[in-house]
């Protein structure tokens, strides 16, 4: 089934990409699908470009090789071949329909029906497809929804959520990025009913979606909605040591000027993040943000230098933001040079102090003195004074 195009995009710029053009030339019946079409219509930057085709994976691979392109079988169970052109990959997936789902995985069968393939996608704004000449096919009114800022499931929300509970988090991600005005009230009850199913999801999948919500320009309306529907506590329960009540939803009143997932996560209060499988760097940053109170707004330049000598500027700025300090304090932190203790072990070796416990003690004592002096005093002179010849 092909249907009639809903609109035509007048030569989207991303179609000028030589690598993409090479893949489309090898697969003339393929269409661009999903996010690239959505964002081209919305006038947003385009990240990944995915393709769909009515041909089988074997036929796709053969066509790519005949065109001199590499075909990598990256997801044959779901009909996906990655086409490599100019050292870049484009996922090409055979049209499919879901046969069976269990809330996490789906068993699919291939089809040649474009509408059936669109029907298995999560939201109407993601069920769009476009031919290489810019003809856009919209089987579920995704274009009007996109223009109106509506995020709607394709078909029955309860059924779509039961097919894959990750769609609950994806709903909030797309609501945060594309939704305007009041969210679709018809999805509230199905989302609330599907909250127990979130326990089936891996921590990696949960964090991948949550992170994308946290870095949106203003995540707080969406996070508040997640809280009200019980989603936030399901994926980020309050930490055992937290005194927060279950009904608390006092989130910061303004977003970060530069979105930061870990900083926004810290703003949610003391919560158990063990399920999220944060990277070591992410966990270290989250721990550092909570390791000490924010500097007061009345902090002097000396106070700032001392703090910067031991703590990264983004951590100090983050602590100030979490404490709802004025933007002026964060600006002072960001513009002040980071003081660096001017002595190292080799400097002590030059004056005859060998590596070992004595050197460590001297360096620690001198650094403590340097911090006490506001990180600007002459450490070399102090070392000479302490060790007269």
CATH number of 1-148: 3.30.460.10
Q: Read off the pLDDT of residues 121-154 as tens digits, 9 standing for 90 and up.
A: 999 999 999 999 999 999 999 999 999 999 999 9
Query: What secondary structure does DSSP assign to 257-325, as a single string?
Result: SS--HHHHHHHT-SB--GGG---HHHHHHHHHHHSSPPPPTT--HHHHHHHHHHS-HHHHHHHHHHTT-
Supply the mean pLDDT for the chain: 90
Which residues partner with 85 through β-bridges?
Answer: 88
Q: Read off the pLDDT of residues 269-325 as tens digits, 9 standing for 90 and up.
A: 889 999 999 999 999 999 999 999 999 999 999 999 999 999 999 999 999 988 877
Residue 241 pLDDT class (50, 70, 90 cuts)? low
With a cut of 70, say whether residue 242 has pLDDT above it. no
7 or 171: which carries more pLDDT confidence?
A: 171
Q: Read off the pLDDT of residues 12-50 as tens digits, 9 standing for 90 and up.
A: 889 999 999 999 999 999 999 999 999 999 999 998 899
126-127-128-131 Cα dihedral, nearest 10 degrees = 120
Residue 245 pLDDT class (50, 70, 90 cuts)? very low
Q: Where are the domains of the chain?
A: 1-148, 292-335, 345-386
Residue 101, pLDDT score: 62
Name the pTM for this structure: 0.86
Which residues partner with 130 through β-bridges?
Answer: 32, 136
Residue 266 pLDDT class (50, 70, 90 cuts)? very high
Residue 6, pLDDT score: 86
């Amino acid at each position: 089934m092909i249907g009639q195009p809903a609109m035509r995009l007048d030569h989207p710029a991303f179609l000028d990409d030589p690598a993409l053009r090479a893949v489309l030339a090898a697969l003339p019946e393929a269409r661009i699908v999903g996010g690239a079409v959505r964002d081209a219509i919305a006038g947003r930057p385009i990240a990944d470009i995915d393709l769909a085709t009515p041909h089988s994976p074997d036929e796709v691979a053969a066509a790519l090789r005949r065109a001199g392109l590499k075909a990598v079988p990256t997801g044959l169970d779901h009909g996906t071949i990655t086409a490599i052109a100019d050292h870049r990959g484009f996922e090409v997936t055979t049209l499919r329909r879901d046969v069976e789902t269990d809330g996490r995985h789906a068993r699919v069968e291939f089809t040649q029906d474009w509408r059936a393939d669109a029907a298995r996608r999560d939201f109407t704004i993601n069920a769009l497809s476009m031919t290489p000449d810019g003809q856009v096919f919209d089987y579920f009114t995704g274009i009007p929804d996109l223009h109106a800022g509506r995020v709607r499931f394709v078909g029955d929300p309860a059924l779509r959520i039961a097919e894959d509970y990750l769609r609950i988090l994806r709903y909030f991600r797309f609501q945060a990025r594309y939704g305007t005005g009041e969210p679709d009230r018809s999805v509230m009850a199905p989302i609330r009913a599907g909250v127990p199913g979130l326990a089936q999801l891996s921590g990696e999948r949960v964090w991948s979606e949550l992170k994308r919500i946290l870095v949106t320009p203003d995540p707080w309306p969406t996070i508040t909605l997640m809280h009200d529907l019980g989603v936030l506590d399901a994926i980020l329960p309050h930490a055992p040591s937290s005194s927060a009540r279950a009904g608390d939803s006092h989130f910061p009143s303004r977003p970060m000027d530069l979105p930061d997932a870990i900083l926004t996560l810290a703003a949610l209060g003391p919560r158990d993040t063990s399920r999220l499988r944060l990277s070591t760097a992410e966990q270290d940053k989250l721990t550092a943000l909570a390791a000490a109170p924010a500097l007061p707004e009345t902090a002097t330049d000396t106070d700032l230098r001392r703090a910067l000598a031991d703590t990264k500027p983004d951590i100090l700025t983050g602590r100030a933001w979490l404490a709802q300090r004025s933007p002026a304090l964060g600006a002072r932190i960001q513009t002040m040079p980071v003081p660096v203790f001017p002595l190292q072990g080799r400097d002590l070796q030059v004056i005859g102090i060998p590596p070992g416990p004595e050197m460590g003690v001297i360096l620690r004592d001198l650094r403590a003195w340097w911090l006490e002096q506001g990180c600007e005093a002459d450490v070399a002179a102090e070392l000479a004074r302490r060790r007269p010849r």
